[in-house]
Amino acid sequence: MKQEEILAQKVSSGLSILKLLIVFTLVLVPVIFMYFTVGNAWPKVEEKAEAPSEIYVPEPKLAKAPSAWRMEKDENAELLEYGKELIANTAYYIGFNGIKKHSTNGLNCQNCHLEAGAKAWGNNYLSVASTYPKIRKRSGKMTDVYDRINGCLQRSLNGTPMDSTEYEMKAMAAYIQWLGQDVPRGKTAEGSKIYPLEFMDRAADPVKGKAIYEAKCVSCHMADGQGILAENSRSYTYPPLWGKHSYNDGAGLYRISKFAGYVKMNMPFGVSHQNPQLSDEEAWDLAAFVDSMPRPEKDKSKDWPKIADKPIDHPFGPYADPFSEEQHKYGPFKPIQEWYAGNP
Ligand code: HEC
Ligand code: HEC
């Protein structure tokens, strides 16, 4: 080999070592660095935990609302922000002493649709965009998002409906649908709406419920159930659970299964589905107590046009089954369920 050829070979093998070194520093070094800094991004083999004191139930994947920056970037950002604000502070704008008008009671949508309608098992709105319009059995009619919002405005907020052309209505509807934008059409998001609590074998007991209420709820909702009015006197810091500023007897929470599922996962305020504090029985008994207290009445004569469609815990007859209003209100519900299973 000529002197030059040997030199050329040396240079080229030197170059490939150099190439290797470059690849190493460019690829492997950052990977190793990241492994130690953001190590959590890599699945690690779990260390064996000590024997758990309670049975561990792995949490299913619950749907999440889109993140805030996506709203900021949205072309309708202003409308969406206002919709969210209205859901969170409804009474301030349109409640009994609202700054825009006086068309609803003392409640905010957020009182029952927690974290502006985004909380897992906090009655969230994530399934609205994907499942409406649909035929609802309560009205027997095709129901779109505006109609559904009006349902809560007239029942949970014991107020008057809004036209779909009103700016406030447009804002709430836009925000609610924005929340569900990632859920495929026709699908229900896991953790949306209210947690379906299992029926008890006995009837729910308002007397037991009152005692639990006095122990676990009065500190915020007060002994008279009227909550605490905010300083602005337009809304509540702690919302009323019965009486003239609370939901009426046509509202979803007036069905004790909805009330029980809601409080189980969300009350006392601060708990979630990950750390509930009430037993199922406590939740049912609380529901029986609160839903036996006085509240505004709604004309329900046009509800459930097919009576066999009435939910088992709808407390107003007539029914397609032989059970009493009392049993439809407080249970036990399993015999009713079984009756329908045998009489389809
Ligand atoms: C007193 C409690 C309460 C308040 C306040 C309330 N809602 Fe509701 N809302 C409910 C209940 C209960 C349901 C039914 C949930 C279920 O069936 O699991 C519901 C359902 C809905 C749904 C349908 C959700 C779905 O996935 O089908 C929409 C939309 C809605 N509410 C909008 C509103 C808006 C907007 C406001 C404020 C103007 C409001 N709600 C205030 C209790 C309330
Ligand atoms: C630490 C204070 C606190 C305690 C204790 C508490 N709540 Fe609440 N509750 C709240 C707040 C605050 C809201 C409204 C949440 C929001 O707007 O984000 C609320 C909302 C509610 C609502 C829906 C709105 C309404 O007025 O109908 C119900 C029902 C309810 N609570 C029931 C209960 C029950 C039953 C208990 C006892 C197990 C209880 N709460 C304990 C603070 C509390």
Kindly tell me if the per-residue pLDDT of 258 is higher than 60.
yes
Q: What is the pLDDT of residue 344?
A: 82
- Mean per-residue pLDDT for 326-343? 97
Q: Looking at the domain assignment, is residue 308 inside a domain?
A: no
Q: What is the pLDDT of residue 42?
A: 38
Domain encompassing residue 24: 3-40
CA distances 256 to 47, 90, 223, 292, Å, are 43, 24, 20, 10
Kindly tell me if the per-residue pLDDT of 166 is higher than 50.
yes
Kindly tell me if the per-residue pLDDT of 180 is higher than 70.
yes
Angle (CA) 334 337 340, round 5°: 150
266 alpha carbon – ligand 2 mean position (Å): 8
Q: What is the pLDDT of residue 312?
A: 97
Whether residue 241 has its Cβ less than 6 Å from ligand 1? no
- Mean per-residue pLDDT for 57-69? 83
Angle (CA) 256 260 265, round 5°: 155
Per-residue tokens: 78: 């202003």
- Give the pLDDT band (50/70/90) at residue 268: very high
Percent helix / strand / coil, the chain, rounded to 5: 45, 5, 50
Q: Looking at the domain assignment, is residue 47 inside a domain?
A: no
Sign of the alpha-carbon torsion through 94, 98, 102, 106: positive
**Which residues, at least 6 apart from 339, have a Cβ–Cβ distance to it below 8 Å?**
321, 322, 323
- Going by CA atoms, what residue is nearest to atom 36 of ligand 1? 109
Query: What percent of the chain shows pLDDT beyond 70?
Result: 83
- Mean per-residue pLDDT for 274-282? 97
Amino acid at 155: R
Kindly tell me if the per-residue pLDDT of 81 is higher than 70.
yes
- 147/228 same-domain check: no
- 73/165 same-domain check: yes
- 226/140 same-domain check: no
- Mean per-residue pLDDT for 56-72? 84
The number of C-alpha atoms within 13 Å of 41 and in the hemisphere containing its C-beta is: 8
Q: Nearest CA to 340 among 316, 313, 315?
A: 313
Angle (CA) 279 283 286, round 5°: 135
Q: Which ligand is nearest to the CA of 150?
A: 1
Q: What is the pLDDT of residue 15?
A: 54
- 238/287 same-domain check: yes
Q: Looking at the domain assignment, is residue 281 inside a domain?
A: yes
Kindly tell me if the per-residue pLDDT of 316 is higher than 60.
yes
213 alpha carbon – ligand 1 mean position (Å): 23
- 165/198 same-domain check: no
Whether residue 152 has its Cβ less than 6 Å from ligand 1? yes
Q: What is the dihedral of CA 138, 143, 144, 145, to 10 degrees?
A: -10
Pocket of ligand 2 from Cβ distances under 6 Å: 107-108, 110-112, 114, 216-217, 219-221, 238-241, 246-247, 253, 263, 267-269, 278, 286, 290
| Number of domains present in the structure of the chain | 3
Q: Looking at the domain assignment, is residue 53 inside a domain?
A: no
More confident residue, 50 or 76: 76
**Which residues, at least 6 apart from 127, have a Cβ–Cβ distance to it below 8 Å?**
180, 183, 187, 188, 189, 192, 193
CATH number at residue 154: 1.10.760.10
- 160/104 same-domain check: yes
- 97/198 same-domain check: no
Q: What is the pLDDT of residue 106?
A: 97
Q: Which ligand is nearest to the CA of 149?
A: 1
CA distances 225 to 172, 261, 287, Å, are 28, 19, 13
Q: Looking at the domain assignment, is residue 174 inside a domain?
A: yes
305: buried, middle or exposed (CB in 10 Å: 19+, 13-18, 0-12)? exposed
Asked if 281 and 332 touch (Cβ cutoff 8 Å), the reply is: no
Interval 208-246: pLDDT, tens: 999 999 999 999 999 999 999 999 999 999 999 999 999
Whether residue 138 has its Cβ less than 6 Å from ligand 1? no
- 95/23 same-domain check: no
Q: Map residue 87 onto helix, strand or coil.
A: helix
Q: Looking at the domain assignment, is residue 343 inside a domain?
A: no
Q: What is the pLDDT of residue 51?
A: 45
Mean pLDDT over all residues of the chain?
Answer: 90
- From 277, 297, 317, the end of a domain falls on 297
80: buried, middle or exposed (CB in 10 Å: 19+, 13-18, 0-12)? buried
Per-residue tokens: 263: 């409080």
Q: Map residue 124 onto helix, strand or coil.
A: strand
241 alpha carbon – ligand 2 mean position (Å): 8
Whole-angstrom distance between the N-terminal and C-terminal Cα of the chain? 96
- Going by CA atoms, what residue is nearest to atom 36 of ligand 2? 217
Asked if 79 and 102 touch (Cβ cutoff 8 Å), the reply is: no
Q: Looking at the domain assignment, is residue 340 inside a domain?
A: no
- Mean per-residue pLDDT for 147-155? 98
Interval 4-54: pLDDT, tens: 665 556 555 555 666 666 655 666 655 555 554 444 443 344 444 444 455
- From 153, 179, 205, the end of a domain falls on 179
- 265/220 same-domain check: yes
Place of tokens 């290797």: 20
> Cα–Cα distance between 266 and 273 in angstroms, integer?
7
- 205/233 same-domain check: yes
Sign of the alpha-carbon torsion through 106, 249, 187, 194: positive
- 173/198 same-domain check: no
- Give the pLDDT band (50/70/90) at residue 178: very high
79 alpha carbon – ligand 2 mean position (Å): 28
Q: What is the pLDDT of residue 61?
A: 84
Q: Looking at the domain assignment, is residue 324 inside a domain?
A: no
- 289/236 same-domain check: yes
